[in-house]
Structure 1
Amino acid sequence: MTRVAVVVNPTKFDDVDAARRTITEVCARHGVDDPLWIETTEDDPGSGQTREALAQGADVVCAFGGDGTVRAVGEVLAGGDVPLGLLPGGTGNLLARALDLPVDDAAEAMDVVLGGREERIDVGVLRADGEDERVFLVMAGMGLDAEMMDRTDDRLKAAVGWVAYAVGGLRAVLEGGFGVHLQLAGGPVVRRRVRAVVVGNSGRLQGGLALMPEARLDDGLLDVAVVAPRGVVGWVRALATLVTAGRGHRSLDRSQAPAVRMRADAPTQTQLDGDPVGAYRELEVRVRPGALRVKVAGTGGV
């Protein structure tokens, strides 16, 4: 490895220069040249910067920011031979957590990038209302989870971290659910009244909770969680299942498939890797097995 690029979201750091010095020092310790440092902008959260890094011959491209930065970088790298490196800079750091990578120490995370190994993981692809396909690396969802993220105050998130999502969730949970027609990989169409439908490569949420405990990043399948509690008893049962990683039931139904299609009765808030992307009626989701190379620590599989 001779050329490292870092795509960084400068809004995530109080002192961007200090963050850059930290990464540069780790590179020097590993005998690697100073990294190519490319900052994101309001208009481009990382895609153009990743293409620039590839054009300049980067052997690895690191996403240094939140989950939106990771997704933008990963979307460009998917299908290619240049691996993604993960440097923590956000509140969720969802993919890093799913891969058991450092989420609180950028220097330690950079050590993994330069001294770890490569693994291939699946990526999800989502088409909403016939628009262009978009990649997600961890989870996509329609309903309560997206509403929760959309209602989370950025200032509160910066102050208290992932707990802010719980506050947004309390606001969203007071609203009713929505009707949806759900179809898994060409199977029968099922009509449900739900609060959320989540599709993911990983089932791990903030706080160590496992929404989809059987999910794996490299199994070539999407895991689907249908959240459909009715009344207080239904919510208690769903939450108990979430906390204990227990077996699914009608209030929290889980399944697996290589592709999923859902059509809501009305436009419903949707999220990709924790970022709300707008209200849509129809989502078509599929998996691209092993499409993304990523730097991980240790030995064994992902």
Structure 2
Amino acid sequence: MSESSAAGPAPETGGIAVPSRAAIISNPTKQGVQALRAAVERAEARQGFAPSLWLDTAADDPGKGMALEAIEAGVDLVIAAGGDGTVRSVAAALRGSGVPMGIVPLGTGNLFARNVDIPVNDVEDAVVLAFSGRDRAVDVLVADIARPDGAEETHASLVMAGIGIDAAMISNTNPELKKRVGWLAYVDAGLRALPASEPFRITHRMDGGRHHRSKVSSILVANLGYLPGNLELVPDAEVDDGRLDVVRLQPRGLFGWLFVWRKVAWENRVLRKSAFGRQLIDLTGGNRHQAVAYSRGRSVEIAIEEGPQEFEIDGDEFGEIVRARFHVDPAALTIRVPR
């Protein structure tokens, strides 16, 4: 894990101190933007920053183009104000640049912010943190995907990407319900998606090793471990460990989803935290059920054997794919986190 202090004294040009400057990338239609502007002005004054560069996201660009514009302008800090989609898009541009990214959560899930202890319900605190927190280097997952028509694309992920029922659930989420109840809308979509879901066969291999065939309902590639509701999907995942975690959900029928739920909501979150709990898992056969299977490495290649499947990245739908290769870009992004 790489850490350093936030921006120090302003650089000097010809003996005159040049104040630091931030860029704020936000969706102007989001609730909380007026509070965001006021909080930024107060933080600028406290930290001795020049007035920020404000850049609005667009329907066809949630942040990457604006982040590239901010880098070109020579700013010292880029703040992504939005949900996981905006944060991911801004991070894709800042990856490898060395320019730190602050995060002001304005979305529904805000999974990345939650996993790195950024306040998700207080714009003022999040802005203060973005301007004055410490720098932390974190990993970025890079996904090279192939579409059914042969087209190839590359995308970045900070949270997790998924193929199968999780992506179908996201694509079926009611946007109006999501605005009203937040991440609970995914539960509604999941209950509707489960009965119609069909397992599919994949071939995957870690770090260029042996090929393994599986029949799964979903395969996820994760950079971190927690889902909404404090559910611990990947207990060993760390956002700065230089590894990616692969999770195969392979329940046998609807009853098998009970074993998935047991693993995520009970074993991972409660029992694995103590020696007694781990013994209880063994005694009750938890480790023998393969409804949830884990793998770790630096890269994974996935081929879908039975036609295209839905694909999602960080909670956003990305259409259908037929294969994907993920690799971890370690310590590629600098973010602002609590001191």
TM range (shorter): over 0.9
- Alignment counterpart, residue 317 of structure 2, candidates 268, 272, 276: 276
Q: Amino acid of the residue matched to residue 301 of structure 2?
A: R
Question: What are the within-5 Å matches in structure 2 for residues 1-302 of structure 1?
Answer: 1=7, 2-13=20-31, 16-129=33-146, 131-174=152-195, 175-244=197-266, 245=268, 249-264=289-304, 265-298=306-339
SS at match of 1:12: coil
Partner of 1:44, secondary structure, is coil
**AA in 2 matched with 1:256:** R
Structure 1: gaps spanning 5 or more residues: none
State whether residues 35 and 123 of structure 2, in contact with CA within 8 Å, keep that contact through their aligned partners in structure 1.
Answer: no
For residues 81 and 72 of structure 1, the distance between their equivalents in structure 2, rounded to whole angstroms, comes to 16
Q: Secondary structure at the match of 2:210?
A: coil
Contact 2:163–2:219 (8 Å) recurs in 1: yes
Aligned counterparts of 2:126 and 2:152: Cα–Cα separation in 1: 35
Q: Is the 8 A contact 2:139 2:239 kept in 1?
A: yes
Whether the 8 Å contact between 1:128 and 1:280 is mirrored in structure 2 is: yes
CA offsets, 1:249-286, max 9 Å, x none?
A: 41000110110111112110001111010110101111
16-25 vs 204-213, greater mean Cα deviation: 16-25
Q: Give the % identical residues.
A: 39
The Cα of 1:12 is off from its aligned counterpart by 2.3
How far off its partner does 1:98 sit? 1.0
SS for the counterpart of 1:133 is strand
For 2:93 and 2:57, how far apart are their aligned partners in 1? Answer: 14
3-state SS, counterpart of residue 221 of structure 2: strand
- Indicate conservation of the 8 Å contact 2:247/2:293, yes or no: yes
Give me the whole-angstrom Cα distance separating, in 1, the residues matched to 2:260 and 2:61.
38
The C-alpha deviation readout for 1:6-30, integer Å capped at 9, x for no partner, is 10012322x6334322322232233
What is the rounded CA distance, in whole Å, between the counterparts of 1:121 and 1:276 in structure 2?
24
Q: Secondary structure at the match of 1:197?
A: strand
Match of 2:236, SS state, is coil
Q: Deviations over 1:172-226 (max 9, x none)?
A: 1112121111211122211111111010110110110011010001111101110
1:48 CA drift (Å): 1.2
How far apart, in 1, do the equivalents of 2:209 and 2:245 lie?
A: 15
Does the 8 Å contact 1:61/1:84 carry over to 2?
Answer: yes
Q: Does the 8 Å contact 2:39/2:127 carry over to 1?
A: no
Q: RMSD in angstroms over aligned alpha carbons?
A: 1.4
Q: Secondary structure at the match of 1:132?
A: strand
Letter in 2 for 1:77: L
Compare CA radii of gyration and give the structure with the larger one: 2
Cα distance in 2 between the residues matched to 1:234 and 1:75: 37
**Residues 64 and 89, structure 1, Cα contact 8 Å, conserved in 2:** yes
The structure-2 alpha-carbon separation of the partners of 1:118 and 1:200, relative to structure 1 and needing over 3 Å to count, comes to: same
Contact 1:23 1:106 in 2 (8 A): no
Return the TM-score normalized by structure 1: 0.94
CA offset at residue 139 of structure 1?
A: 0.6
Say which is worse superposed, 74-83 or 187-196, in terms of deviation.
187-196
Output the CA distance in 2 between the equivalents of 1:135 and 1:109: 23
Gaps of 5+ in 2: 1-6, 8-19, 273-285
Structure-1 separation of matches of 2:309 and 2:206: 19
Q: CA deviation at 1:85?
A: 0.6
Give 3-state SS (helix, strand or coil) of 2:323's partner: strand
